[in-house]
Structure 1
Amino acid sequence: MLKAFIFDLDGTLIDSLADIAGCINRMLETRGFPPCQDISMFRQMVGDGMEKLVERALPEAERTPEMIRVCTEEYRAFYDGHWQDETRPYEGITEMLASLKEQGIKIGVISNKAHRFTVPMTEHFFGQGYFDVILGQRAEVPRKPSPEGAYEAASLLRLSVTECAYIGDSGIDMAFAKSAGMVGIGVDWGFRSVEELREHGATRIISLPSDLLEIN
């Protein structure tokens, strides 16, 4: 019996691709680099934290540690003011979360997005205090797929990891769930492919948020 459903944020609960792409392209143009014209390219670029996103967006010849550091700070500053321009929860997400809470199931978020963005964004779109635990990427905790964040969340929820499911849209998310001993549930509405989810060990793949209500 699952007692908690813990979610990835970007590509799972919220569609944030347009704002991410817009802020990366603004950073690139400010630096005199060519922007990424095809927004779908960002589907493969996100998921490993801001530094990796910036590294992937930069021209290959410019990917020095110092350039990545400086451009990450510039991207972070742009994103700080524009993460809510076009970002919205996916259709059916708010209703699904409300149903889980009505059933007494704990809900949480674990994201590779920086903690300083993960908390305010989650609270902006879903309400302050709505989730039982919210964990973004922090320097002292290895990012997904390392399982440390899962252990931390389960401890805060006072549950075993085996009593928790992790829901995400990427192979990283499914590998994270598997390494932690959580049930890994993939969503097909996010940034990555169903094939990627299967290859990385998804226990189940759902097509609608409401499908999650039938699992427990």
Structure 2
Amino acid sequence: MNKYNAYIFDFDYTLADSSKGIIMCFRYVLENHGYHDVSDHQIKLTIGKTLEESFSILTSITDKETLTSYTKEYVKKADDWMTANTVLFPETLSVLNTLKERGAKIGIVSTKYRYRIMEFVDKEFSKGFFDIIIGAEDVTAHKPDPAGLVLAINSLQSDLEKCLYIGDSIIDAKTAQAIGVDFYGALNGITTREELLVYPYVKISDNLSDLI
């Protein structure tokens, strides 16, 4: 893993577990609109997608105006609940610190809003720890479209051969595959090893520890 000069991470289920906050926010909105039978597992399966996509999957609604309205309700609740209900995975800090000590650049590319990630990052990390953070509001096309990853690689002045993208989901694997960036799969979420084996990868591991 030492051939890379830039390590770009997904956020949810890769660096941190925010599933508790995500479930709380989705459940609030869904039950507010009469969707009482959606399970926690169904909600978890949408983590990594945009909020509009997730609500569409969970409710079968396709009307953009309605999905936008649900998303706004979610965001309002997330302002109160998300950061307090997000925790780093046990190995995250030590792995990231080791990579930085080796001189690597560290970034995040996520479908989560950047300001939400920053709220959490500012609580857990020293100022300026991450060299770049790309969130949902920074691109018009979201993963598995590689626009955010391309933006991050260019901002870090890296290139495709020297960058490793680390994520937990099929969406992340497809994002790396779209531009030929090496992919490391971390099984911190609910995506299985077998599901990730379908896509190009350099490593699939139980967590981030094998990065170092």
| Aligned twin of 1:153 | 152
Amino acid in structure 2 at the alignment position of 1:46: I
Amino acid in structure 2 at the alignment position of 1:44: L
Q: Could you say what secondary structure the match of 1:112 adopts? A: coil
Q: TM-score scaled to structure 1, two decimals?
A: 0.90
In 2, distance between residues paired with 1:35 and 1:137? Answer: 28
Q: Could you say what secondary structure the match of 2:117 adopts? A: helix
**Closer, same or farther in 2 for the Cα pair 1:139/1:164, shift >3 Å?**
closer
Is contact 1:18-1:39 (8 Å) kept? no
Could you say what the CA RMSD is over the residues aligned between the two structures, in angstroms?
A: 1.7
In 2, distance between residues paired with 1:12 and 1:117? Answer: 16
Is contact 1:119-1:136 (8 Å) kept? no
Q: TM-score scaled to structure 2, two decimals?
A: 0.91
Q: Deviations over 1:50-87 (max 9, x none)?
A: 111222232x3x54222211111101111111002321
| Aligned twin of 1:24 | 26
In 2, distance between residues paired with 1:90 and 1:131? Answer: 17
Q: Could you say what secondary structure the match of 1:119 adopts? A: helix
Amino acid in structure 1 at the alignment position of 2:145: S
**Closer, same or farther in 2 for the Cα pair 1:125/1:56, shift >3 Å?**
farther
Q: Could you say what secondary structure the match of 1:150 adopts? A: helix
| Aligned twin of 1:166 | 165
Shift of 1:140: 4.1
Gaps of 5+ in 1: none
Amino acid in structure 1 at the alignment position of 2:57: R
Structure 2 residue 49 is matched with structure 1 residue 48? yes
In 1, distance between residues paired with 2:77 and 2:37? Answer: 15
Is contact 2:139-2:147 (8 Å) kept? no
Percent identity at matched positions? 30
| Aligned twin of 2:197 | 198
| Aligned twin of 1:99 | 98
Is contact 2:83-2:116 (8 Å) kept? no
Amino acid in structure 1 at the alignment position of 2:178: S
